[in-house]
Amino acid sequence: MIHRYWRILLVAPVIGFLLGAGVFGVIALGGNPYTRTGQSAGGVVRAILAYGAVGLVVSGAALIGGFVLVSCLDRHLTKSSGTRTALAALGAAGGVLTMGIVLVIVSETMRNGGWSYLLVIISLVVASVAGSVAAMLVYRAERCERTRPDRVEHPLPSAWVDF
């Protein structure tokens, strides 16, 4: 399984960071213009890094969720590629939702109530985005696996066989 999906393990954190930084860009461009003019370059860099770190955490939860669901339900990769794509998408969304539920529980136990509904709504949106990205990544990995040429045995005998 690692052999087939190792590229996703490398690409997903980068995509998570970039999506998190992109969220900051959307907030900054669509936000209050007076706030934008008062920001320094250092403040913008810190905000981009903070939003990117949140994207990294979300991508980690999505990776764990997708990996766990695919490994539990299709351990030997015997099901169709469409099934694995759907399982990875559901697992990624489930991992992000689980992380959101844990955040809500921690928030409620720390007596910071009143914002739980907002965390749940944000978790649902982020989970749908994570599931969509996971589906695209796994579909692409499955497509690359299908189109990869089979190994051809070398026509000359190996020195180890003759030894």
Provide the residue ranges of all domains of the chain, joining segments of one domain with +: 2-148
Alpha-carbon distance of 100 to 58, in angstroms, equals 10
DSSP 36-49: HHT--HHHHHHHHH
pLDDT score of 47: 87
Q: Dig out the tokens for 145 from the structure.
A: 């696996």
Q: Which residues are CB-contacts of 28 (< 8 A; sequence separation ≥ 6)?
A: 36, 39, 44, 47
Tell me the average pLDDT across 10-22. Answer: 94
Residue 131: its H or E element: helix 116-147
Q: Centre a 10 Å sphere on the Cβ of residue 3 and count the other Cβ atoms it contains.
A: 7
pLDDT score of 65: 96
Tell me the average pLDDT across 76-98. Answer: 92
Q: Dig out the tokens for 91 from the structure.
A: 């697992």
Mean pLDDT, rounded, of the chain: 86
Given a cut of 90, is residue 158 above it in pLDDT?
A: no
| Phi and psi, residue 89, nearest 5° | -65, -45
Given a cut of 80, is residue 111 above it in pLDDT?
A: no
Residue type, 100: G
- Longest CA–CA span in the chain (Å) reads 78
Alpha-carbon distance of 122 to 106, in angstroms, equals 16
The more confidently predicted of residues 144 and 50 is 50
